[in-house]
A and B are shown apart, each in its own frame.
Chain A
Amino acid sequence: MDGDASQRAYWRATLRLTAVLLLLWAAASFLPGWFSDPLNQVVVFGWPLGFYMAAQGALIVFLLIVWIYDRGMTRLEKRYGLNDED
């Protein structure tokens, strides 16, 4: 069954994308909190870096992750012929 194989490949590619982005999410979420002391030694435009990452940096990374996921999934859908939009 050709469709089945292609669907399995699509799902594997989805899982790869999800895993990479989840890793990025975990890094942005928990590293600034854990390493806040050394990060706070660096000051950027008045913000201690640890404070900035937890207050703004991580949030911008989250938004990027969600955006990349939508773009990536749309591309995957096209490659595996699962989307007839556009």
Chain B
Amino acid sequence: MSSMPALFRRLGRYYAFYATGFVALIGLLALAEHFGLTPRWIGQIFLFATIAIYAAIGVMSRTSDVAEYYVAGRRVPAVFNGMATAADWMSAASFIGLAGTLYYAGFEGLAFVTGWTGGYVLVALLLAPFLRKFGQFTIPDFLGARYEGHFARVVGVCAAVLASFVYVVAQIYGVGLITSRVIGIEFEIGVFVGLAGILVCSFLGGMRAVTWTQVAQYLILIIAYLVPVAILSYKVTGVPVPQAMYGTVLQDLGVKEAELFTEPREGAVRALYGQRAEDYARKIRELPESLAIERQAQVRRVNELRTQGAPAREVAAAERLLRDMPRTPDEARVKWERARQDSLARTEPPRPHAEAHPGADPAARDSARNNFIALTFVLMVGTAALPHILTRYYTTPTVRESRRSVFWSLLFILLLYITAPAYAVFAKWEVYNGLIGANIASLPHWVASWGKVGLVRVEDINGDGILQLSELTINSDAILLLVPELAGLPYVVSGLVAAGGLAAALSTADGLLLTISHALSHDLYYKIINPQASTQRRLVVTKSQLLVVAVVAAWVASLRPDSILFMVGLAFSIAASAFFPALVLGIFWKRANKWGAVTGMIAGLGLTLFYIVRTHAFFGGSMANAWFGINPISCGVFGVPVGFLVITLVSLLTPPPGPEAQALVDCVRLPDLHPRRADAENRL
């Protein structure tokens, strides 16, 4: 009976010890850097040390027990499940991408902050306690039991695999990016190194190993996220609590923005970009002659430089320009159109950071507001429907613990999301005050080193030797990684941030891979194809599926699909429209039946996919086909209500569900009557 508090205390001791050890490692590396350890070594030590920790936890928690492998034995205390869920939830996109998105989108980016946290209210109120009471292994399990039969289960398996797979590819891509940048290996090799890191935990120990590694990963990622911005906040305001201090900085930033945006030289630079855009438009119109003229001009320039005896560096640069010229008129059209769009974007005067729903006219402002609301909605409902998050609530000992565990999850997630807007504001403040208006010849050296990998670009278009705002480009994903250098911090902080990003990507990838392989092996193989399979055989199938899925995902990621961010957005809409209506009505409306659920899931999912194909340029659609001007990323805003509507209508038109399904609903609505006794039965 006293096993739970004892377990809790023991875990607390382990992780406190581990966190202290990690902080000591940071201190040690900082000291070593002071005495001359090179950045390259610091990065490698950080990455390999953390992966070694994850691997050690993975090997220690290896298991061949089914309940341990699928749901960590259902004895994960609420606080630790909260941390594991937070790590499971916060992916490379949250860790690396969010600060950059907020930097560029300002107020509009806050849809991600409210959206990705508000979803947990839906998880707590509508799903987690009931799924825990149901107490099986996967989300399709619930659909199969509640909606009587394999049909609903199979639809659930398909949607779960679809949503999780696009998501996991994005994570592995992020892992490849970080490892290749920090260790300096090829991206493709980086992907497979990361894959090894993912597999050492999930392969041997399933959910049990992944849970305990995720707790470790959460601690690393939250330390890595908070430290740089706290130092930056201390530097700018004198108080190391960025979440409380960035309000005043935001106000000062507003003053700086007003000054900067009306500066005459900024206007002149924007006008120059306007001319360049027109120039490209003319050249595109005059294809193919314009291409021939361009090439001749460049050949002449190279010859001139050679005959004048110009420095070898200039000659080489001119030759490279000639080599890189488009070969065919079609190639030139694509390339110049992209350059034209890029120049055109720089002619737009920037918007104040805190301005809500910017737009040229009231219609554009209204459309921006509608999209903001729609995106918030989709991200919330999608959060409450992603299978890898929902299955985490199967792992707590009791219904009550699962409710508490949502509270802890949200608290741990909040720490990061409340900090992200502060990151954006402090980074902008540093860029506007430290870089803009500075002499281009004397920019800090990191501008050049990030320029080499193409993430920062500086172009002195008006030739005045001074950096204007429109002359600077920073890749949105680089903002977070740049903050330590912006603030002039030692490299050890950059290494820490990279380790945090790796932890975020690895933990999410682990959770997703488990979800996919469990859907395939448990729901498809064991429940449908071969219900007589022995326990041992089931685990063998699960592990081999995991391996296959992981390798396929890594292979897709190594092809570098360039629409990764769009695919992550897609995963939310897919999950929201496929699962949310069927799960919620399954618990709250007894009359919902098999036919309603199956048609509703297919209709919601179908509409979502249809809208995306019609409106997104990736599939050849265009925004001219959009309804109410809603962007494709928020397409779930149509799929979810249609799902609810179809389930309701079809259920009412067909016979009510059988007594077994009704009894199941009654059962999940009640908490466990004897939680202590249930706990004793579940123990070990």
A interface, CB within 8 angstroms of B: 7, 10-11, 14-15, 18, 21-22, 25, 28-30, 32-34, 36-37, 40, 43-48, 50-52, 54-56, 58-59, 62-63, 65-67, 69-70, 73-74, 77, 82-85
B403: chain A residues within 8 A (beta carbon): 69-70, 73
Q: Which residue of B lies closest to A32 (CB)?
A: B114
A-facing residues in B373-390 (Cβ within 8 Å): 373, 376-377, 380
Q: B68-76, B596-604, B670-678: which one contacts chain A?
A: B670-678
In the complex, what distance in Å separates the CA atom of A30 from the CA atom of B373? 6
| Interface-centre pick from B118, B403, B588, B674 (highest chain A CB count, 10 A) | B118
Closest residue on chain A to residue B250 by CB atoms: A46
> Which A residues touch B120, using CB under 8 A?
62, 66
Residues of B within 8 A of A48 (CB): 250, 354
Which residues from B are CB-within-8-Å of A44? 247
Q: Out of A11, A50, A73, A77, which one reaches B356, CB within 8 Å?
A: A50
Give the distance in Å from the alpha carbon of A85 to the alpha carbon of B671 in the complex: 12
On whether the beta carbons of A29 and B126 are closer than 8 Å, the reply is no
Pairwise interchain contact A69-B247, C-beta atoms closer than 8 A? no
Q: Is the CB of B121 within 8 A of A25?
A: yes
In angstroms, how far is the closest chain A Cβ from the Cβ of B665? 10
Check if B410 sits within 8 Å of A63, measured CB to CB: yes
The answer to whether B400 has its CB under 8 Å from any CB of chain A is: yes
- Chain B, interface SS category: helix
Verify B376–A46 contact, CB threshold 8 A: no
> Could you tell me if B414 and A59 are in contact, using CB atoms closer than 8 angstroms?
yes
CB distance from A54 to the nearest CB of B (A): 4
Question: Do residues B118 and A55 form an inter-chain contact, with CB atoms below 8 A?
Answer: no
Q: Name which of B355, B356, B588 has the most chain A CB atoms within 10 A of its CB.
A: B356
* Alpha-carbon distance A77/B376, docked complex (angstroms): 33
Instruction: Name which residue of chain B comes closest to A29, CB basis.
Output: B118
> Are A14 and B669 in touch, CB under 8 angstroms?
yes
- Min CB distance B401 to A, Å, is 10
Contacts from B to A (Cβ < 8 Å): 107, 110-111, 113-114, 117-118, 120-122, 124-126, 129, 243, 247-252, 354-357, 369, 372-373, 376-377, 380, 400, 403-404, 406-407, 410-411, 414, 417-418, 421, 588, 666, 669-671, 673-676
**B247, B357, B400: which contacts A36 (Cβ < 8 A)?**
B357
Report the minimal beta-carbon distance from B231 to chain A, rounded to whole angstroms.
20
Q: Cβ of A51: which chain B residues have Cβ within 8 Å of it?
A: 107, 110, 250, 354, 356
- Docked-complex contact B118 and A62, CB < 8 angstroms: yes
Contacts of A11 in B (CB 8 A): 669
When the two chains form their complex, are residues A55 and B418 in contact, meaning their CB atoms are under 8 A apart? yes
B residues near A62, Cβ cutoff 8 Å: 117-118, 120-121, 410, 414
User: A32–B372 Cα gap in the complex (Å)?
Assistant: 11
Question: Which residues on B sit within 8 Å (CB–CB) of A66?
Answer: 120-121, 124, 406-407, 410
- Whether the Cβ atoms of B669 and A83 lie closer than 8 Å is no
Is A34 in contact with B369, judged by CB distance below 8 angstroms? Answer: yes
Nearest opposing residue in chain A for B411, CB measure: A63
Known: A15-B588, A69-B403. 6 other contacts (CB 8 A): A29-B114, A29-B377, A44-B247, A62-B120, A69-B125, A73-B129
With known contacts A46-B248, A83-B671, A34–B121 Cβ distance under 8 A: no
Nearest CB in chain B to that of A55: its residue: B421
- Check B410–A69 contact: CB distance below 8 A: no
Residues of A within 8 A of B247 (CB): 44-47, 52
Is the CB–CB distance between B675 and A85 below 8 Å? yes
Which A residue sits closest to B409, measured CB to CB? A66
Cβ–Cβ contact A59 & B669, under 8 A: no
Are B670 and A34 in contact, CB atoms less than 8 angstroms apart? no
Is there an interface contact between A74 and B113, defined as CB atoms closer than 8 Å? no
B110 engages A54 (CB within 8 Å): yes
Q: Which 9 A-B pairs give the minimum distances between C-beta atoms?
A: A46-B247, A36-B356, A46-B251, A54-B110, A47-B247, A46-B248, A55-B421, A25-B121, A66-B124
With a cutoff of 8 Å between Cβ atoms, the chain A residues found around residue B243 in the complex are: 56
With a cutoff of 8 Å between Cβ atoms, the chain B residues found around residue A69 in the complex are: 124-125, 403
Q: Which residues of B contact A50 (CB under 8 A)?
A: 107, 356
Q: How far is the CB of A80 from chain B (nearest CB, A)?
A: 9
Contact of A54 among B107, B666, B673 (CB under 8 A): B107
- Known contacts: A29-B376, A56-B243. The answer to whether A37 contacts B357 by CB under 8 A is yes
* Chain A residues whose CB sits within 8 angstroms of the CB of B406 once the complex forms: 66
Selected contact of B373 from candidates A28, A34, A56, A70, CB within 8 Å: A34
Are A58 and B118 neighbours in the complex by a CB distance under 8 Å? yes
Q: Which residue of A lies closest to B402 (CB)?
A: A70
Nearest B residue to A58 by beta-carbon distance? B114
B110 near A85 (CB under 8 angstroms)? no
Bound CA–CA A58/B120 (angstroms): 12
Residues in B whose Cβ lies below 8 Å from that of A63: 407, 410-411, 414
Residues of A within 8 A of B252 (CB): 46
Which chain A residue lies CB-closest to B675? Answer: A85
In the bound complex, what is the Cα–Cα distance between A49 and B627 (angstroms)?
A: 31
| A21–B121 touching, CB < 8 Å | yes
Return B426 CB to nearest CB of chain A, in Å: 13
Between-chain CB contacts (< 8 Å), 21 pairs: A11-B669, A15-B588, A21-B125, A33-B111, A33-B356, A34-B369, A40-B354, A43-B251, A46-B248, A46-B250, A46-B252, A47-B251, A50-B107, A55-B113, A59-B414, A62-B117, A63-B411, A66-B407, A70-B407, A73-B400, A84-B676
Nearest CB of A to B99, in Å: 13
Contacts of A59 in B (CB 8 A): 113-114, 117, 414, 417-418
- Given the known A-B contacts A25-B118, A25-B121, A59-B114, are A46 and B671 also in contact in the complex, defined by CB atoms under 8 Å? no
Nearest to A39 among chain B residues (CB) is B356
A33 vs B122: C-alpha distance when bound (angstroms): 19
A18 CA to B126 CA, complexed, in Å: 8
Question: B107 — which chain A residues lie within 8 A by C-beta?
Answer: 36, 50-51, 54
Which residues of chain B are within 8 angstroms of A47 by Cβ–Cβ distance?
247, 250-251, 354
Report yes or no: A83 in contact with B121, Cβ–Cβ below 8 A.
no
